[in-house]
Structure 1
Amino acid sequence: MYVERPFAGLACAWQRSTTRPVTGRVVPDGCTDIMWSTSGRLFVAGPDTGAHLSSGEPGTLYGVRFGPGAGPAAFGVPGHALRDQRVPLAELWGPTAALEDELAAADDPCAVLAEAALRRLRATPPDPAAAAIVAAVPTSGVARLADDLGMSVRQLHRRSLAAFGYGPKVLHRVLRFDRAVGLARRGVPFADVAHRTGYADQAHLSREVRELAGVPLGQLIRP
């Protein structure tokens, strides 16, 4: 069972519970997460460029998700250093024993993770250009986006790598894919999904999903 809930200042908080070992498919969404399991693991999932198959033990996994461009600032490293990585939180924040004790005793571990994440964001805010890049990247070419933001193309690429883990072109690809998957999960016909998210046609959407998720769209969204 997987459940998400909103949490102010973050993309969401979530938890996944299982009574048996499972293998899950995590696909790119431009985000980073902090996760804590009832088995005691506390780690960070960086921004992915392709499908990540994760093995889950019985129990509950709690997580908080940073929106695109926010997480790396909280971890104190550029986004590309976390790309396609799963890293113990202690490697980024230093000793986490006190946080782990608080999580183990909490009625709501997601709230504990969220408050820790938000404290870090207040101390080290994201690049102020990140939100503008996310807003503009679906509709602007790289050169135009750089010009609109008062940067050179090279500066835009460097700041995008640091904030998101991707350059602007890959970021656009990932965010478009994530939006398409979200629409498909809500029951929008695949041809309409392709049109609404800017793919050339349904075949283009299908190719992108296979490349980024490793499986067809119908299989990806199957409950």
Structure 2
Amino acid sequence: MSAYTEWRPSVAPGRQVSCLWTRHHAPGPSYEQLVVPDGCVDLVWSDAGLQVVGADLAPRSVPVRGGAELAGLRFRPGAAGLLLGARPARELRDLQVPLAEVVGAATAERLGERLAAARGPREAAAELEAFVAALVPGWEPDRVVERAVAALGRAQGARLPELATELGLSERQLRRRVTDAVGYGPKTLHAVLRFQRALACARPGHGRGTGEGQGDGGGPDAGAGPGLAEVAALAGYADQAHLTREVRRWAGVPPRVLLGRRAAGPDGARGQASGASS
């Protein structure tokens, strides 16, 4: 088992930083953790050092050491340029690299020295936030990408030709700008954000309380949250079958298996289905 906590930034700009998080793994044997795409880039501190985790394009299994403690900072989709600078996020897609490869050895070493004095993951997360906040004055957000991500994150999505026209770009320019900023293109980003919205909609307490589709939720406690048919409608899928296909695509398992793993423990960092961080 593990304990995961996340909270909103208080120093770094919420416009670019989604959250800070910590994770404590209970002592015991190592195990494999399912990690699913979320469109985000994370800065992670662990006993493996400081690492930057790029946006995932497919589910993956990550080994987790018993007793490990981690802290992280998650950038909103398209906002990782605050850390990456001119380096395109597409170059880090599906990768986990040392922070020194992104910001240089000297900068990473200075941050590592401050983290060495941290009394636990919570203080480590605060150091990560202070580090990122200090980068803000020298960085100019891509307003076009921000608008594109917001449009693609809506349940109804946005057709690429109309979105490109609205933003004053060609479709090719829009694809390139979003791919460079996020790690993958607009169509894929929309699918990932819809998948993540479905996971949020499936949480207990979400939904209209109609009981729609509760028979598909798996077990007597299904009423604690909306059923799969309602989740599909809330998240913007055509129907429950569409939801099932997309969950298999992004998680590699059926919806009831994925949601059962999430119910077994708190939500994890990097869009994880249960219990661990990258």
Unaligned runs of 5+ in 1: none
The question of 1:86 aligning with 2:96 is answered yes
Alignment partner, residue 141 of structure 1? 159
Paired residue secondary structure (2:21): strand
The question of 1:105 aligning with 2:112 is answered no
Which of 129, 152, 168 is 2:144 aligned to? 129
Which structure has the greater CA radius of gyration? Answer: 2
Matches within 5 A, 1:174-189: 174-186=192-204, 187-189=225-227
Runs of 4+ in 1 over 4 A off after TM superposition: none
Matches within 5 A, 1:15-164: 15-18=22-25, 19-20=27-28, 21-37=30-46, 39-57=47-65, 58-76=67-85, 77-95=87-105, 96-107=108-119, 108-137=123-152, 138=154, 139-164=157-182
How many residues are treated as equivalent by the alignment?
222
RMSD: 1.4
Give the Å deviation of 1:163: 1.0
In 2, distance between residues paired with 1:164 and 1:110?
23
Give the Å deviation of 1:40: 4.2
- With a CA cutoff of 8 Å and minimum separation of 6, indicate the structure with the bigger relative contact order: 2
In 2, distance between residues paired with 1:47 and 1:4?
19
Q: Encode CA deviations 1:6-54: one digit per residue, 9 max, x unaligned.
A: 11421011111112323211111111100011x2421011011111211
Give the Å deviation of 1:121: 3.7
**Paired letter, 1:164:** V
Paired residue secondary structure (1:145): helix
In 2, distance between residues paired with 1:79 and 1:147?
24
Paired residue secondary structure (2:238): coil
| TM-score normalised by structure 1 residue count | 0.94
Which of 20, 29, 54 is 1:13 aligned to? 20
In 1, distance between residues paired with 2:35 and 2:227?
22
Verify the 8 A CA contact 1:35 1:63 in the aligned structure 2: yes
Give the Å deviation of 1:213: 0.7
In 2, distance between residues paired with 1:112 and 1:167?
32
In 2, distance between residues paired with 1:120 and 1:190?
42
Q: Encode CA deviations 1:65-120: one digit per residue, 9 max, x unaligned.
A: 00111013421211111111111111001111221111121231001011112222
Give the Å deviation of 1:193: 1.0
In 1, distance between residues paired with 2:40 and 2:164?
22
In 1, distance between residues paired with 2:48 and 2:234?
42
In 2, distance between residues paired with 1:52 and 1:63?
19
The question of 1:190 aligning with 2:190 is answered no
Alignment partner, residue 248 of structure 2? 210
Verify the 8 A CA contact 1:199 1:205 in the aligned structure 2: yes
